[in-house]
Structure 1
Amino acid sequence: MEEEAKKIASWGSNVYIKIPIMNSQGESSIPLIHKLSRLGYSLNITAILTLDQVRETVDAFVSGTTNIVSVFAGRIADSGVDPVPLMKEAAAICLEKEGTELLWASPRELLNIFQAEQCGCDIITCTPAILNKMPNVGKSLEQISLETVQMFSRDSQALGYSIV
């Protein structure tokens, strides 16, 4: 990873190097993160799911560098755990080191955009499927209910089947 990081860093000063929090054998990347940060590289540390990982990552960054801490909030939610409290605490930890931004990764629904903002996240990744739901923001639930029934009607008519 170190050799690849140095190669990627040569692409430009505006490039962030993405480093997973651990390698595929489960070994921590914290020593590498600290080493790359000492070289002044901008880093995006990814696949983070615990507050301990957030803390270790932020502590590994050298002051004066710009970095992103990517917490996979959607995967946390997939485990049955509410990611909001963790993300709020992660935001507070990231604020301790100037130049550190928190990214809400792996959103699962439009609500996550609003949750990320409420938690103090700086960035959220979104799929087109999630962004395509933005026109629903501000609509009444009554209107969304009507549109849902209208969609059901169009779908059943398009099939050409009838029970009666």
Structure 2
Amino acid sequence: MTTSLKDLKVKLFTDGADKAQIVEMAKNAWIAGFTTNPSLLKKAGVRDYEAYARDLVAAVPDRHISFEVFSDDIPEMVAQARVITTWGPNVFVKLPVSTTRGEMLFDAIRSLSRDGVKINLTALFTADQVARGVDALGGGAAACVSVFAGRLADFGIDYAALVQDAVNRSRKTPNVEVIWASTREVYNVIEADRMGCQIITAPADVLKKLPALGSKTGAELSLDAVRAFREDALAAGLTLALPGARAAE
């Protein structure tokens, strides 16, 4: 079955922190939101977090934007969350499932969510984390749970059951949506859509390939590959002496 961009039901978020790229991606009506994290902020060279974030919210005021806390102390994480949520009505506060010492944030998440803070619970890798996270968020403000399917796949771990469990739980919890996170390839978008994920966040270079979905058959792609190999062989000037035959041109 061939899928095109217009067939997708999953909402498409861009994962990145470069303002110019975010503004450029926002020109596409099919981009529904944006996610950032401290690693992406570091890569983008962000120094003044609040100034950067408020500038970004002003540039893209009408779509979801996730900004993450960066403390490793739960009370301070809660305080940071309460500041970040004031940056705009479209802002979701990203909170990791635990501190670096393995202290779980479920109680803090429950309290913040009940106080109206929109949360993106991130770094979910286990069924227990998903179950407890969705339970903590249920009945509160609009929220997301980010399941790191791609990173699980990087280590040879089958993520399908975990993602499906998260989707099933979210369907019973109206204020919670599932984000397929750590996307590696275009086909992950198809997988997320077919599994019922409400959202997938992916790097811009992956999302930019989506308009081509469904535009070519396997046979056409095969010919494209063969032609590319032939063109590159000619461009490289490859030759091979063959006994009793003329060298390939």
TM-score with structure 1 setting the length: 0.90
Measured after TM superposition, the shift of residue 15 of structure 1 is 1.1
Write the distance in 2 (CA, Å) between the matches of 1:88 and 1:62.
18
Pair 1:75 & 2:145 matched: no
Query: In the alignment, which residue of structure 2 is the partner of 1:22?
Result: 98
Task: Provide the C-alpha distance between the structure 2 equivalents of 1:141 and 1:116, rounded to a whole number of angstroms.
Answer: 22
Aligned to 2:195: 119
Deviation of 1:22 after TM superposition, in Å, equals 1.1
Could you tell me which amino acid in structure 1 is paired with residue 141 of structure 2?
T
Aligned length: 164
Q: CA deviation at 1:138?
A: 4.4
Matched-pair contact (CA < 8 Å) for 1:73–1:105: yes
1:159 partnered with 2:236: yes
Residues 35-90 of structure 1, C-alpha deviations (whole Å, 9 max, x = no match)? 21121100001111111111111111151410000001111212212222221111
Q: 1:37 aligns with which of 113, 137, 140?
A: 113
Q: Which residue of 2 aligns with 1:147?
A: 224
Q: What is the letter of the counterpart of residue 81 of structure 2?
A: A
Deviations 1:20-47 (A, max 9, x none): 1111222212122112112110000111
Local SS of the residue matching 1:54 = helix
Preserved contact between residue 64 and residue 98 of structure 1 (Cα < 8 Å): no
Q: How big is the alpha-carbon RMSD for the aligned residues of Structure 1 and Structure 2?
A: 1.8
CA–CA distance in 2 between the matches of 1:45 and 1:105? Answer: 11
Residues 50-65 of structure 1: matches in 2 within 5 Å? 50-65=126-141
TM-score scaled by length of structure 2 = 0.61
Contact 1:67 1:99 in 2 (8 A): yes
Q: Which of 122, 125, 128 is equivalent to 1:49?
A: 125
Unaligned runs of 5+ in 2: 1-76, 242-249
Q: CA deviation at 1:162?
A: 3.4
- What's 1:94 paired with? 170
The 3 A distance-change label for structure 1 pair 10 and 62 is same
Overall identity of the aligned pairs, in %: 38
Higher relative contact order (CA 8 A, sep 6+): 2
